[in-house]
Homo-oligomer: A and B are copies of this chain.
Amino acid sequence: MSTSATAPAPAIVLVRPQLGENIGKAARAMLNFGLTDLRLVTPRDGWPNPAAGPAASGADLVLERARVFDSVADAVADCTHVYATTVRKRGLVVPVVTPEQAAQEIRRQPEPSAILFGAERSGLETEEVAIAGKILTVPINPEFRSLNLAQAVILVAYEWSKQGNVVMPTEIEEREPQATQGQLDGLIGQLEESLDAAGYFHPPDRTPATKNTIRTILTKAHWSNREVQALRGMIRTLVEPRPRKG
């Protein structure tokens, strides 16, 4: 049995964040994908920060519940699984996982998890990475690694949310039922009759191949009956134009 229904959502830990605006954007990115446990380690400009609220665009509850800690160790003291987000390799011999792999693990692990994000420019210190059991690296364009804090948070939150969505939107749920073969044959028959009356089928020896083409074209569309009936109305109007009013 999967534990995904009960595995706790991860805490997002921003380590020495500089701009309140970025804290707000991170909160917004979290709430977009259902995360609410925000932890701040020695934010540069203190906490609360008036610049955070506007940037959160309504994710106020995440900011209101945010907790401040003096160190990474304090911030993750209650967590069992800690991931350090970094795009750089650190010379530490710890496993490196993608956001997807981390999300899959967090969904399976019944103990609390935390994901660390470093300061905007300097990132995480080696000692901070060492607190984490694993490095989380976003597989990014090696020639352009400029990923900002909120973007890193949103990708991780997105993957966490995604791994929990067992039932994803599917094409089938959004579709009307497809027309029956009989309904489709009605359209094909009407079109062929109309084309025949208009002199479309010539030379006669090509007619069977042309009719196969017509059937193929109209079959592959997988129309609903509503759409089939709309097309029949269009053909009828083209063949017998309506009198202009006014």
Compute how far the CA of A223 lies from the CA of B169 in the bound complex, rounded to whole angstroms: 25
Give the residues in chain B near A150, CB-CB below 8 Å. 151
CB within 8 A of A222: which of B59, B146, B220, B233?
A: B220
Interface status of A95 (Cβ within 8 A of chain B):
yes
Q: A31-B144, A93-B224, A214-B230 are in contact. List 20 more A-B contacts (CB 8 A).
A: A32-B140, A32-B141, A33-B140, A33-B141, A57-B148, A58-B144, A59-B146, A96-B171, A101-B168, A137-B169, A155-B155, A194-B238, A198-B237, A199-B244, A200-B242, A202-B245, A213-B227, A214-B234, A217-B227, A238-B238
Q: List 26 A-B contacts (CB under 8 A).
A: A31-B144, A32-B146, A57-B148, A59-B144, A93-B176, A95-B171, A95-B174, A96-B174, A137-B169, A139-B165, A139-B168, A151-B151, A194-B238, A197-B241, A198-B242, A199-B241, A199-B242, A199-B243, A200-B237, A216-B227, A217-B227, A217-B231, A220-B222, A220-B223, A221-B223, A238-B238
